[in-house]
Amino acid sequence: MSLSSKAQCLLEEETSRFINDYQEHFLKGETKPPEIGQPYLLHQPQATQGVLLVHGLMAAPEEVREWADYLYSQGYTVYAPRMDGHGTSADDLSRRKMSEWTAAVNRGHEILKHCCEHIVIAGFSTGAAVALKQVIDKPDAFDALVSISAPLKFKKFSANFAKPVNTWNKALRRI
């Protein structure tokens, strides 16, 4: 399947989103070069299978490039989204929420839907946790899941209180 005009338009929107975030949050001496954080599509026109490849926390799309290149060499179309706050600055990342990360991955899924019939989601570390959440939230959207080094639990004792506090906060919001 060739790259549709819709997929091209969505890809351009993601690139523009990154460029705007990069310019807004650039910190000299801290921010990595833009090619590290920019999302990318490796398109195989004849491929019916695509892989949505999600990077980890404090990483960026370029940091899964070797994995993406290998999958591409095996005949897959690969899209590596940039989760918001990544590839810009630590200050930007510290203000982001998981909902923004899942939204970025959802937009990546939308891009792949326009150039592949079947989509696998794969992630590393925090990207694996986001991939797991995507499959839980949208079980029919993906043909397979690859989860590498997904966090299973928090190590700090205080993190044990996150779930009850979150439940309490949700209850308060309803009231």
In angstroms, what CA-CA distances link 2 with 65, 117, 125? 22, 11, 31
Geometric angle at alpha carbon 126, from 89 and 82, rounded to 5°: 50
Tokens of 156: 């700090």
Rounded Cα–Cα distance for residues 122 and 37 (Å): 18
Beta carbons within 10 angstroms of residue 41's beta carbon: 23
For the chain, the domain total comes to 1
59-87: per-residue pLDDT in tens? 999 999 999 999 999 999 999 999 999 99
118-174: per-residue pLDDT in tens? 999 999 999 999 999 999 999 999 999 999 999 876 565 555 556 676 677 677 777
CATH number at residue 60: 3.40.50.1820
Predicted pLDDT of residue 166: 66
Asked if 151 and 130 count as a contact pair (C-beta separation under 8 A), the reply is: no
Q: Report CA 66 to chain centroid distance, whole Å.
A: 16
In angstroms, what CA-CA distances link 173 with 95, 99, 168? 21, 18, 9
Q: What is the value of pTM for the model shown?
A: 0.85
Residue range(s) defining the domain that contains residue 31: 5-174
Region of 125 (left: φ > 0; alpha: ψ -120 to 50; beta: rest) is left
